[in-house]
Structure formats: C-alpha cells, structure tokens
Amino acid sequence: MNMNCTTFRANLDAYIDSELDKKTRRAMEEHATACPECGALLNEAMDVVTRCAELNEGLTVPLECQAAWRRAVREEAEAKDKARARRRSKHRASRNAWVRALSAAAAVLVLVFAVGTQLGPNGLSGLTPALKNRGVDGGYSAPGAAMYEDHATPTYESADYDMMYASNAVTPISGAATSGVLLQSDGAADQTLSTAAKSDSGVVVLRSANRAISTKEFDADQMYIDDLVAEYEAYFESRRVTGNAEDANRLLKATIRVPSDSLDDFLTALDLRGVVTLREESAEDITANYNDVAARLEVLRTQLAPTR
Amino acid sequence: MQDAQTERKLIERAGRGDQSAFEELLSAQEGRMYAVALRMCGNREDAQDCMQEAMIRIFRAIGTFKGQSSFATWVYRITMNSCLDELRRRKARTSTSLDAMIENGFAPTDENDTPERHSLQSEQRRMLEKAIAGLPEDMRAAIVLRDIQGCSYDEIAQVLETNVGTIKSRISRGRERLRAVLSQQPELFGRHMV
C-alpha cells in the first residue's frame, strides 16, 4: 500500500482499534518509523488510548451507591405492589353504580381528548411528511399544525421503521387510559397514549405523549407492543397497518389506552425498542370539561329516574 | 461475571418479579454501570443518582427484555440514557457550561483523598478525566464506551442507537480532541505529545 502522511492519519484510529489488514498495518508501522511526525502522532494516540483503558483500574462501586440502588429498587417494588393493590381496589369500587356513571363520563372525556391529541399538531404533525412520502395519508392534517411546523421532522430511511406515539395520562376515574400507535414496515410506527385521572384536589389532568420510533424488526417490535398492551392491561383504541411483509415501508399506526398508574412504566418499556426519533409529552387541565360532563350526566340521570 | 445460562435464568426470574434474582443479576452489571455513569456525569453524586435511576428503569422493564441484544448492551443503553437525561436536566437547571464548571475547579474523579493524589500519575489521570469530561456529550459517550469500557463498534452503535459510521467518526474526533487538550500539558504528557 502506498502510505503517505494523509493516508496514515486517515487510518490512525483503525490501526489503534486493530481493524486494519496485516499489509496495511505493516505499511502504517513502516511509515511511522520513517516519518518522525507521524511516528510521534502514533505514539501520542496510543498513549491516550492506553491511559483511557487504565482509568477503570482500581475503580469500585462505593458501598453507599451499592446500598442506594438496592434500596431504590426495593422501594420501587413496594410501590408497584401498592399500585397493583390500588388498581384491584378500584376495580371493586367500580361496581358501584355511581362510580360507574362517573367512569362513563371520564371515558367520554378521554376519548375526546385522545382524538384531539391524535389529530392535533403536537402529536402527529411531525410525522405527516413521512406519511406523505410513503403515500400513507392517515387524514392527520391537524388543525393548528402550522403552529408546530418548526418541530423536527423525523427522517425515515427505507431500511428503518419509525414509530410515533402519543399518550395522555390523567388521575384515573375510569381506571383506563388510551394510546395510539402508527407503525411503518421496516420503517415506522406512531403511537398515542392517553390517561385521565382526578386528583384529591378535584383537578382532572390529561397527559399525552408522542413517540416516533424507527426499527428494522417490524414484526418483532409489533409483537412487543402487543405484549406490552397485554401486560399493562391496556387496549388498542385504533390500529392500522399499511404495506405488507415484502414492503420495505410498512407502517403501523395505533391508539392505545393504558391504565394511568401504568403509563410511565409503559412509556419506559416502549422507549427501549427501536430508535426513538421523537419524544413528546404534555399535560392538560380538563377539570372544567370533566365537571361539565359530570353535571350534565347528573341532570340526565335525574330526568331519567321518573321514567323508570 | 455470570455465565450465559445463569444470566438467562436470572433474567427470567427477575422478569417474573423475583427481586432477589434481579439484585443478583444486576450485581454483575453494577461495576460497568457505575464506571459509565461516573465518566459521563463527572462526579460521584450524579453518577450514583444516574445509576439508581437506571436500575429502576431496568427493574420496570426487565420483564420486556427478550434478548434482542446482549443483556450487558441493554443495560449499557439504559444507563447511558439515564446519564444523557441527567446531563440535559443539568443544562436546563443552570446556564453554567461544563467549561465554566471545569474552570471553577470541577474535577470528575472517583479517587478519595489519598497521599498518592498529588503524584504525577494521579495528576495525569485527573487531567485525562477532566479532558474527557470536557468533550461534547456524543463524543464523550463514544469515547467512554470504546476506550474506557472497551465495547465494540457494533455494541456502541446499539447502545447509542446510531450507525457504526457515526460512532467511528465520534471516536476519531473525540480522540483528536483529547490529544489536543493533553498536548497542552507537556509537563504531564510530554513524552510523545508534539
């Protein structure tokens, strides 16, 4: 190989990482011997890398750190058990007719806001160009999308798949939340999640999150989402797959509702798959709408009572 | 280090909610998690917080680990994400740049105050750690994983969720920056530095 200073420098890191073939390696070493400047550079580079490799020598995890993470995990496990117990308790309570009525009201709200989120600009506007590129227009030309035009648009290389999803979480009245998913074959998926909950102070907050995730394992990741939905007792509000297994541009788009207690865990688990190219979360105070619907429901119930 | 079979069994048990299995499984990973967190955050306190956060994320998600990558790679990925999240939070909390922190005496190191602290070797080590802490986050992550932790390019690409070409570029530029910084300390690194 014709080695000069330029090619020597270009190959320097590959040499350090033992990525060169024998012939090129020998040429590098011969050049380093013949050229004092490149020889010094090689020594310098090797020196830095060697010193980096030695940094962990004698490094031990401090005892307080070892104890802290174990304590944190145990607390997390206890919190999880308590949350599970609370959910069971809520399920029992939901048998009560009055609670059932409230749940219905909350479900309506969740549905409305889930749709709003899904069609809204903060959810899917960033994905629209990619969908158009694939000829997949899901009708997400959201009103107000212009407000979000400066959002980074995910790039969807044909070899990848992208997923976008949004979630809303509120203090649970209905005990259930919703999310949506759009998945693109060898390419992309969109999700929208929502949950509604009422705090002790009476404030009802709706949280939403969007994700764009790209993967090269469309089928496996689609199954992963199915597993997640089952594990977290969530359900698909809507789900659409475009393209087929031979298509390099498959797309899954879905809306999923997740129990509000599990929303954060659901998001954590979801973010571990594929490459997340967009991550957005928001919260909205829907107390007024909730109270309005609850009041109207109460009026309707009162009107209905004499007819029974 | 656990063998593959033991690790697989522990993952299964931890996935079913067995907390003791989880602790045994992660005990084998805590050293590398702490090393990554320490080099990324630059101090013990934040490293401990990031490691703790990563452990909780892993605990929440262990049931969903399906072996799509090695367990160690998966753990690295979650740890690195916790660190990057912490660095972003740190940026949001204060406008103080890392450069300014370093100027003000910020010195990322794990060493305790020992008599050797002021020895030449310790000083070289401290300067190197400082130089690594001064790298941009993406370069630092690649250098930490490659040159300190000894990960392969493929593994780093999985951890940082990007392609091998980008990783090679970040490593190359990171090493170049380290050489440039350390060459300004000829009394410590004068042997080869030009």
Q: Are residues A138 and A283 in the same domain?
A: yes
Q: Are residues A181 and A35 in the same domain?
A: no
Let me know whether A28 and A115 are in one domain: no
Tokens of A71: 């304590």
Task: Give the pLDDT confidence of A22-68 residue by residue, as tens digits.
Answer: 999 999 999 999 999 999 999 999 999 999 999 988 899 999 999 99
Instruction: Tell me: do A84 and A143 sit in the same domain.
Output: no
pLDDT at A160: 29
Per-residue pLDDT of A85-103, as tens digits, reads 777 776 566 545 444 444 4
Nearest-CA neighbor of B72 among B15, B29, B8?
A: B29
A47 chain-B contacts, CB cut-off 8 A? 189, 191-192
Residue A205 pairs with which residues in a beta bridge? Answer: A197, A285
Which of A96-100, A210-214, B93-97 is most confident? A210-214
Specify the CATH number of the domain B1-94: 1.10.1740.10
User: Are A217 and A106 found together in one domain?
Assistant: yes
The length of chain A in residues reads 308
Chain segment A247-259, per-residue pLDDT in tens: 667 778 877 888 7
Q: Does residue A298 lie in a domain region?
A: no
Residues A114 and A244 in one domain: yes
Q: In this structure, are A70 and A212 located in the same domain?
A: no
Four-point Cα dihedral B34, B35, B40, B46, nearest 10:
30
Number of domains in chain A: 3
Instruction: Look at A146 and B167; give whichever has higher pLDDT.
Output: B167
- Mean pLDDT over A124-142 rounds to 31
The rounded distance, in Å, linking the Cα atoms of B168 and B154 is: 10
Instruction: Answer yes or no: do A272 and B22 touch at CB < 8 A.
Output: no
pLDDT of residue A97: 46
Domain encompassing residue A20: 5-54
Q: In this structure, are A11 and A107 located in the same domain?
A: no
Helix H, strand E, coil C: the string for chain B is CCCHHHHHHHHHHHHCCCHHHHHHHHHCCHHHHHHHHHHHHCCHHHHHHHHHHHHHHHHHHHHHCCCCCCHHHHHHHHHHHHHHHHHHHHHHHCCCCHHHHHHCCCCCCCCCCCHHHHCHHHHHHHHHHHHHHCCCHHHHHHHHHHHHCCCCHHHHHHHHCCCHHHHHHHHHHHHHHHHHHHCCCHHHHCCCCC
Neighboring chain B residues of A272 at a CB cutoff of 8 Å: 61, 64, 74, 77-78
Instruction: Assess whether A252 and A110 both reside in one domain.
Output: yes
Which class in CATH covers the domain with range B116-189?
A: mainly alpha
User: What value does the mean pLDDT take over residues A275-286?
Assistant: 76
Residue to substitute from B18, B23, B30, B56, interface A, most A β-carbons within 10 A: B56
Select from A40, A53, A70 the Cβ nearest to the Cβ of B147. A53
**Whole-number Å distance between alpha carbons of B132 and A239:** 46
Residues A200 and A73 in one domain: no
Does residue A307 form part of some domain? no
Task: Look at residue A141 in the predicted model and tell me its pLDDT.
Answer: 28
Tell me the average pLDDT of chain B. Answer: 84
pLDDT of A308 over the 60 cut: no
Chain A, window 16-35: residues with a beta carbon less than 8 angstroms from a chain B beta carbon: 16-17
A197 with A287, same domain: the answer is: yes
**CB contact, 8 Å: A67 with chain B?**
no
Answer yes or no: do B64 and A44 touch at CB < 8 A: no
Q: Is A255 inside any structural domain?
A: yes
Shortest distance, CA B26 to any CA of chain A (angstroms): 10
Q: How confident is the model at residue A223 (pLDDT cuts 50, 70, 90)?
A: confident
Chain B residues whose beta carbon lies within 8 Å of the beta carbon of residue A45: 175, 179
What local confidence, expressed as pLDDT, does residue B81 receive? 94
Whether residue A174 is found in the same domain as residue A197: yes
- By C-alpha distance, the chain A residue nearest B78 is A272
% of chain A exceeding 90 in pLDDT: 21
The residues spanned by each domain of chain B are: 1-94, 116-189
Chain A residues in contact with B124 (beta carbon < 8 A)? 51
What mean pLDDT is reported for chain A? 66
